Every structure is written in structure tokens, then in C-alpha cells.
Structure 1
Amino acid sequence: MSLTDLAARITANAQLLDAHLKSHNLPSPSTSIHTCPDFPNPNNDPAVESARIALLEDTQTLRNYALGPAQVIRELCWNPEPDRVAHTASSAALVTNAPFYDWFGHSVEEVFPASAKLAEALERCNQGGIGDGRAEDSAFSLAVGDGESVFEFFEKRPDKQRRFRGAMEAVGMDGGHDLGFVVGGFDWGKVGRGVVVDVGGSSGFLSIALANAYENLSFVVQDYKHTVDEGRAALPSHLSERVSFQAHDFFAPQTVAGDVYLLRHVCHNWSDENAARILRNLVPAMKSSSRILLVEVVTVRPGVVNRVQEKYMRNVDVTLLQMLNTQERSREDWESVVTLADKRLKVLRIHRPEGSWDSIIEIGFVVMNGHD
């Protein structure tokens, strides 16, 4: 493709995005410290998201063509007047956005040091494999944790744990992790007046979003005691009769008979064996009609998705390897984990809502053999 053709495609997508902003009375993007932190797409319009992704890819390609492979350009900071340096929109976010500040601190002090130890960790783990998936064998444990897993490290350091929760909140602000994809990505209506068990649900933010959208559903949020205590204290009063909180270890047998067991970004933190244990512990409480929903990245072969999505997917995959000695999984990987958990369970459906980084993996019983 010629430079002119590429520029024409960039112009077409830019015009589409401008029209979107104008029609919804939204501000145009800028480098001002007052600009929106993410590109405005409040309704998660898939056409807008597709145009935005195409614009990102094409502008990067055009820039690379214009630079040539041998050139390196160092970006200048914003220098509004001599001898003064001012915030850009990006640096100002560290001051004005507390979760983003937490994410930056976590990245600098925990993720980056772990990346420097990844090669050594891989050499120790079965000559380049990921070993048995023990978190205490991770690059993070070598670099920061003094032999501790990331979970042990945070449990002993409440300030670091609080910052990590803030960092995960910042990750959740990414449009690709919008809770609306879970709210609208599954047929919750068919659950009727059922009970949804939000396993590892933190302070209950996903259950709250679902409860606001589906008034017939009830929710039990399970996590560490101190986490669910915080969630209970912050729960909006109008949801107090439908959203409850329970301290629970997901490596222990499930005690709540639910219609749906919802696990968002839980199993990817664990090895295949441990992820299977988490799922296996749900089985005794399940009914024949119960469903397990995993909200997770499902990896695909290179070239199947656009470059922006693939870059995100591979970055998270490597980060999980560094921090936890685990990985993101393909459809086949998830099916293997489910079979390992219980041969009566099967992946029934995998659906990735348009614009979402995550897929919704629906799991249910195939053969009950009298279990109910």
C-alpha cells in the first residue's frame, strides 16, 4: 500500500471518529491536561471502536514507513516557555488519577524488576518451560519477593496490596474491560430469579453493575474477609437485600448453591492444576442447570485479531508469566483445564463481545450421573 493510500484510509477513519464526537457532543481529543483519559465512546459502539483501532494501526504503520528502520526519534517533553517544564496529559494523569498512579507505582516497583529476571526464572524452570506453575518460582519471586509468591508478598505488605488493588482498578478503566461487556454479553434473563455467586469478586463492583441491570437476580460476593468487609461497607443501600458478601477461600469447597458461578480474572492467575482445583471446588454445590462463567482473555493464533488486540493479549500473557508463572490460555487450553477439573464439565460456549479484551466462557454439566 502506498503512503497516499494509507493516508487516505487514515483520513476516512478520522472523519468517522470526528462525526461520532460531533453527533454526541463530545470533546475532541487533545494533549491538554483536561482531556478525557480515554477516547470517548460511552456506548461502546463497535463501528467507532473498529475505526479507532484501524486509525491506531495505520498511523503507526505510516509513522514507521516515514521513519525508516534505522531511525530512532526521542519525544520531547512539553516546554511551554524557557526554563519551565509543564505537565502533558499523560504525566498529569499521575497526579489527578489515583488508580493510574497506583498502576504506575506497581509497574515500576514490581513488574519491571520481574521482567529483568524472566530469563533466569525460565532457565530454572525446566530449561525454558514454565515448570509446574508454582508462583514462588516466578521471575517476580526472584526479583522482588525473596522467594515469596506474589500473593504472599502482598499479604504481608498491606500498603503494597492496597496499591495493587488500585492498579487493578486502573486496568479495569480500560474500555476493553468495561463491565458493560459482562452485563450485556450473557443472557442473564434466562437465569430468572437465580443466585449469582461472584467468586473472587473483590469489593463486588461487577455484582453491583449486574444487580443494577437485572433486578430479579441476587448475588453473593466472595473474597478475602478484609476485601468483602470493605465491599459491604460501601454497598449502595438500595442493593442491600440482593447483594451479600461472604469471606471464602476458592480453594475450599463451595458452600453456596448458585445458578451461576462468576469468576472474572481469577483462573488466569493460577497454574492449570490450581485453576482446575478452583473449578472442581464449585462442583459439589452446583445444580444440574448451574453454569460457570469465566471472564478471561482467550488467546488466538497470530494474525487472527488486529495488531492492537494481539499486542495487548501477548503483553498480558508475558506479564502473567513474569509475576505468577502462569499464562493466558487458548480455547484448547481452557477446555483442558475444565476437563481436568471434572470430566462431567464442558465448555459450552465462548463469546467475545465486540470491543472487549475478554471473552465469556460458559461451562456446564454434560453428564450428571445422578448429581443434582
Structure 2
Amino acid sequence: MAPARPISELASIIERHSRTLENELKDSPISKFSIEFGAPPQVEIPAVLEATRSELIETIDELRIRVLGPLGYLLTLMFPVPALAGVFHVLYKFDIPSNVPISKESISYKDLAERCNIPEDDVRRIIQSAITFRVFEEVEPEVSIRHNAISSTLAIPHLKDMLGLVLEEQLPGTTKLTDSIKLFPGSGEPGHSASVLAFREAKAVKNSGLEKEVVDPSKSFFDCIAEDEERVARFRSAMGMSTKSLAFKSSFFVDSLPWADKSQCPETIVDIGGAGGEIAQAILRGHRNVKKAIVLDLPEVVGDAKVPEDLEGKLEYASYNFLTETVSHPADAYIFRHIFHDWSDQYGTKILKNLVPALKKGGKIWLSEVVLPNLNEMNLSKSQMQRAADIFMKSGFNGKERSRKGWENLLALADERLRIVSVTKPEGAHDSVIEIVFDA
């Protein structure tokens, strides 16, 4: 394998080839390489420039991968791809592209939702996720969208059929590829293919009526896997791995708390849903004016938790179910990290209402959660992971990632006395730090 070229050399190749294409094609309709509505759907270039374009694309790809690094690159492959499959399936099934004006005219999310018979919040989340991959464009943030050259092609009948073929015939087969290899190793029979296995399973489920049967809608993903030790262990391991990503460092949250100033520092904090107490321990060690921390979580989570020697007398663990119990531990500040994105507003409201009785006037709640930014041309790639996470929250838990407006709506539903004081996003962090005050 040849030695890796410096990334500055890769950047030079990209600039050189980009200029070559611009100069050679300056008088042609594709010279701007635009994705605005009305731009040619295909970039057809002379054969003599194909090698230049191929090397340009390859070099762009190599530079991106190397700048992201091994883990960053893998996460950008594994995370958005299944979410995108879900996004495109909704676009296809509800015929969303055809219901957006095939012109430069915009349409509000509200009107589009009515046309497609889909909840407005859902259509907004689906399209905003697509926009991070430059499919559609948002005209007024959170309000309206329009087609660009990419999204408008999805309304072309033949391409729409191709999308349906990929999503409804081929994609299900990919989930059964492992089963096909295990059940029929080395088989060349078409009836042993993964797609046929997926078709047979879907047909069996449909004939049984199970696809519409939901006995208890309050049972979550976690309830479904609770009795399968292997799946539970895998989930915990995966979550542990995700938190090891540099963007999820707990120090982003801990260091952003303005508690170096003793007058602003709470003496007692409660970490709700704090699991093993990583955040509480970091706060006690990093903010010496915090005298006591209590970690609340389900009994099976905190049952075996141990207090480190250096924190004895300052750290406690107690059992608590934030959906069914009222908080009974008084504190100056309450902390939630990565809790609310698992839950819809219906259940997020319950969590907050169960906390309100414990709050005193001026009491603070601190959240470490995603705050989705408004979409613009400068942050689309950066937003892909967060918007993909939002689709995962929707598909996995009926939960959601929220914009600032979404957080304000959640607080208003829970108690009108809850108010956002500040939202801070540390540079390089995945999450924002949300400061909430209780104005009794």
C-alpha cells in the first residue's frame, strides 16, 4: 500500500481538478454544478474529463475519511444510513415529494402535512433530516420548505418506482442476509435468498394479524428486550461505546456548569436517571463547593452501585422511577443527561411533572441534551448525526431530539413556571447544556 499523502496535498488535488472542470465547462449548462431547482438532474461531461472527475470524487472521499478519523468515519456510515432508509421510506410511502410544488414555490410544513395526511411534527422531522443530506431546502426555519434539484427528481414516476423497489423489496432482504447464509450455506437456489425469507416472514406476520396488535402501548423497546440478556448486554455495551466518542465526553457538561462561582453553586444536586453516577462523581470532583450528590435510577440499576472511597459521605444512590413516582429528595439543582430524547412529549411531560413538587422558587434544572439548530448551508453535514439520532429516537422509542422551541413547548406542557435561562453548546460537543429555572 502506498504511503498516505498529506491532507494538504489532497486538498490541492481537489482545488486543481475543480478548477479544471470549471474552466473546461464554463460555457455549458452544467458549469455551476448546481443543485438548485431546475438544474440538470445529471452531470454529463465530455469523456476526456471523466478521469478528472473520478479522481476528484475519490480524493474528496479520502480527505473526508481521513479528517473524520476511523471511528468518526464508521459512525457516519453506521448511524445515518438506517435512519436515511426510514426517511426515504416515509417520503415514498406518503408521496411527499409529489405534494411539494414542483417549482421554486414553497409550502409550509402545516399545509404539506395536511396534503399527505401525516402529523406536522413528523413531516417536519423527516424532511429536516433529509435536508441535512441536501434533499429539499428549508425556506423559513421550522415553517416552510421547497424543492431543490435533488428532491424534485423523487417526484419523477420512474425514479419513484425505483425508490419503492429498493425500500420495499430489496431493503427487507438485507436484514435477512445473515439468516439466509446460516440456514442455507452455499445454496444457489433463488428460494433460499434473503429477500424470499423476508417476504415469507412478512406474509406470515400479516396473515397472523400480529402486525396491528399492540396489547399495551406503554411497553417500550426496553421492555421488549428486558428478558433477553444478550440483547440487554449488547445495548449497554453499545451505549457505553457511544459515550466514549470525544463528542460525548462528560467533561463538556461538567465544565460548562457555572459553579466555580460559589454564589451560583448548589450545595446539593440530584442526578435523575444517573445510572452508575458518572456525572455526579465528575461534578463532586470538579466542583468542590457541591457538598452532596444523589443519583436516582431504577432499583436494578443502582442496586449494585458502589461509592468510591474519595466520595464517601458525599455521594448516595437511591431507587426511583421517573415515570411513576414523585421526586422526594430536596436539592438545589436537578440534573438529567440523555433522558428526555428517549421519550415523546407525552412522557417527557410526566417526568417533569413528577419533579415539580420538589422544586423551590429559583430552583434549577440542568439538562445535557441535543438542541437541534436551525438548518443552513453551513451546518448541514454537521447536523446529519443529530437528525439521524432524531429519526432513531422516533423509530426506536417514539422519542425525539428537540430544537429550542421544542424544549420550550415541552416545559410549557409540564408547568408554565419552568423557563429556559440559557442554552450553551461547548465547541466539539454533541450535546448542549440547558439551564432551566423554576419561577414559582
Q: Deviations over 1:230-250 (max 9, x none)?
A: 3x23x3211121111011001
Quote how far apart the aligned CAs of 1:123 are. 6.8
TM-score, length of structure 2 as denominator length: 0.53
Take 1:257 and 1:10, find their aligned partners in 2: how far apart are those partners?
A: 59
Take 1:311 and 1:259, find their aligned partners in 2: how far apart are those partners?
A: 36
Aligned residue runs from structure 1 range 230-269, under 5 A: 230=304, 232-233=305-306, 235-251=307-323, 252-269=325-342
Letter of the 2:301 partner, please give it: T
1:312 alignment partner in structure 2? 385
Quote how far apart the aligned CAs of 1:158 are. 3.1
Q: Deviations over 1:110-163 (max 9, x none)?
A: x95996699479979x9543899xxxxxxxxx99x9955212113232332222
Quote how far apart the aligned CAs of 1:319 are. 1.4
Quote how far apart the aligned CAs of 1:166 are. 1.5
1:334 alignment partner in structure 2? 407
1:219 alignment partner in structure 2? 293
Equivalent in 360, 366, 386 of residue 287 of structure 1: 360
Take 1:197 and 1:168, find their aligned partners in 2: how far apart are those partners?
A: 22
1:67 alignment partner in structure 2? 54
Take 1:74 and 1:181, find their aligned partners in 2: how far apart are those partners?
A: 30
Q: Specify whether residues 168 and 118 from structure 1 end up closer, same or farther in structure 2 by C-alpha distance, changes over 3 A only.
A: farther
Larger radius of gyration between Structure 1 and Structure 2? 2
Letter of the 1:223 partner, please give it: D
2:373 alignment partner in structure 1? 300
Quote how far apart the aligned CAs of 1:167 are. 1.0
Q: Specify whether residues 270 and 9 from structure 1 end up closer, same or farther in structure 2 by C-alpha distance, changes over 3 A only.
A: farther
Quote how far apart the aligned CAs of 1:216 are. 2.8
Take 1:307 and 1:247, find their aligned partners in 2: how far apart are those partners?
A: 41
Quote how far apart the aligned CAs of 1:308 are. 4.2
Take 2:343 and 2:378, find their aligned partners in 1: how far apart are those partners?
A: 25
> 2:350 touches 2:414 (CA, 8 Å); kept in 1?
yes
Aligned residue runs from structure 1 range 52-131, under 5 A: 66-67=53-54, 119=89, 127-129=117-119
Take 1:6 and 1:188, find their aligned partners in 2: how far apart are those partners?
A: 45
Gaps of 5+ in 2: 1-7, 16-51, 63-68, 95-115, 123-201, 206-210
Letter of the 1:129 partner, please give it: P
Question: 1 or 2 for the larger relative contact order (CA 8 Å, sep ≥6)?
Answer: 1
1:56 alignment partner in structure 2? none
Equivalent in 215, 219, 228 of residue 302 of structure 2: 228
TM-score, length of structure 1 as denominator length: 0.62
Q: Specify whether residues 301 and 68 from structure 1 end up closer, same or farther in structure 2 by C-alpha distance, changes over 3 A only.
A: farther
Q: Deviations over 1:58-99 (max 9, x none)?
A: xxxxxxx95389999999xxxxxxxxxxxxx969xx9xxxxx
Give the paired residue count.
Answer: 273
> 2:247 touches 2:429 (CA, 8 Å); kept in 1?
yes
Aligned residue runs from structure 1 range 176-187, under 5 A: 176-187=247-258
Equivalent in 338, 346, 350 of residue 277 of structure 1: 350
> 1:115 touches 1:322 (CA, 8 Å); kept in 2?
no
Secondary structure, counterpart of 2:365 in structure 1 = strand
2:232 alignment partner in structure 1? 161
2:242 alignment partner in structure 1? 171
Secondary structure, counterpart of 1:258 in structure 2 = coil
RMSD (Å), alpha carbons = 4.2
Q: Specify whether residues 275 and 118 from structure 1 end up closer, same or farther in structure 2 by C-alpha distance, changes over 3 A only.
A: farther
Q: Specify whether residues 223 and 193 from structure 1 end up closer, same or farther in structure 2 by C-alpha distance, changes over 3 A only.
A: same
2:271 alignment partner in structure 1? 198
Letter of the 1:358 partner, please give it: D
Letter of the 1:160 partner, please give it: R
> 2:83 touches 2:391 (CA, 8 Å); kept in 1?
no
> 1:195 touches 1:260 (CA, 8 Å); kept in 2?
yes
Secondary structure, counterpart of 2:303 in structure 1 = helix
Q: Specify whether residues 308 and 113 from structure 1 end up closer, same or farther in structure 2 by C-alpha distance, changes over 3 A only.
A: closer
Q: Specify whether residues 69 and 326 from structure 1 end up closer, same or farther in structure 2 by C-alpha distance, changes over 3 A only.
A: farther
Take 2:425 and 2:396, find their aligned partners in 1: how far apart are those partners?
A: 26
Do structure 1's residue 7 and structure 2's residue 11 form an aligned pair? yes
Gaps of 5+ in 1: 12-64, 76-88, 95-99, 133-141
